[in-house]
Amino acid sequence: MQNKLAAEFFGTFWLVFGGCGSAVLAAAFPGIGIGLTGVSLAFGLTVLTMAYAVGPISGGHFNPAVSVGLMVAKRFSARELGPYVIAQTLGAIAAAGVLYVIASGQEGFSLSGGFAANGYGAHSPGKYSLLAGLVAEIVLTAFFLIIILGATAARAPVGFAPISIGLALTLIHLISIPVTNTSVNPARSTGQALFVGGWAIEQLWLFWAAPIAGAVIGAAIYRLLFAERREAAL
């Protein structure tokens, strides 16, 4: 268990540091900023690389919503859920802390720029409403779980799951960065919100509730419609 939790901590750290770091440090860098596409790709690459690096140890969740979804799909033990969520959240907070130290080293840095936190309404990049953010986070997380469960099923080609999962996360960000700055991951949202404070803390509930609800829905859909009989019996 110690090794599993360490893998989840460092995997989530890398996801937040790489994904949010690209948004904070590189997205709008003068002349060569990577923009929305680059940030989306960065999030996908973090999951892809750490899924190969430590996925065989812990399963490579790096996301409380994914852990909940896998539990609902009978792919993960309920006894391990609490420790996994704690390790993931601590990893995200640690990554946000390191990112803050780096970002604040630039003259004129201010958390008022958002620090890659998730938000809706006035704090949505595209000023999308609470309802829009809720629907986007639920639907995208549901599909993320369907993809994860399908890519890691016994019938799927061996060794390719991290690629499809990483590309799925890239696509998710391409769709929803303008809506909520993309969460689909409560730990990722928590780390940034704790540093931004204020509105980010007030809106954080959505980025726990919606991804977890979406994960449960996605897992239930997969188990009902797509799981093989042997898999469904586990």
- What DSSP line would sit under 192-225, residue for residue? HHHHH-THHHHTTTHHHHHHHHHHHHHHHHHHHH
Give, for 51, the enclosing helix (H) or strand (E): helix 35-58
CB 211 within 8 A of CB 137: yes
pLDDT tens sequence across 173-226: 999 999 999 999 999 999 999 999 999 999 999 999 999 999 999 999 999 998
pLDDT of 140 strictly over 80: yes
Determine contact, residues 120/183, Cβ cutoff 8 Å: no
Confidence tier at 227 by pLDDT (50, 70, 90): confident
Under the banding of pLDDT at 50, 70 and 90, the label for residue 234 is: low
Question: By mean pLDDT, which of 8-12, 40-44, 88-92, 110-114 is the weakest?
Answer: 110-114
Q: What is the DSSP string of 92-137?
A: HHHHHHHHHHHHTTSTT--GGG-TT----GGGSTT---HHHHHHHH
Could you tell me the CATH number of the domain that includes residue 185?
1.20.1080.10
* Per-residue pLDDT band at 78 (split at 50, 70, 90): very high
Total domains in the fold of the chain:
1
Full residue range of the structural domain in which residue 206 is found:
2-232
Token look-up 């780390």 returns 191
Whether the CB-CB separation of 227 and 221 falls below 8 Å is answered with no
Q: To the nearest whole percent, how much of the chain has pLDDT over 70? A: 97
Output the pLDDT for position 32.
Answer: 87
Q: What would the mean pLDDT of 84-95 be, rounded to a whole number?
A: 98
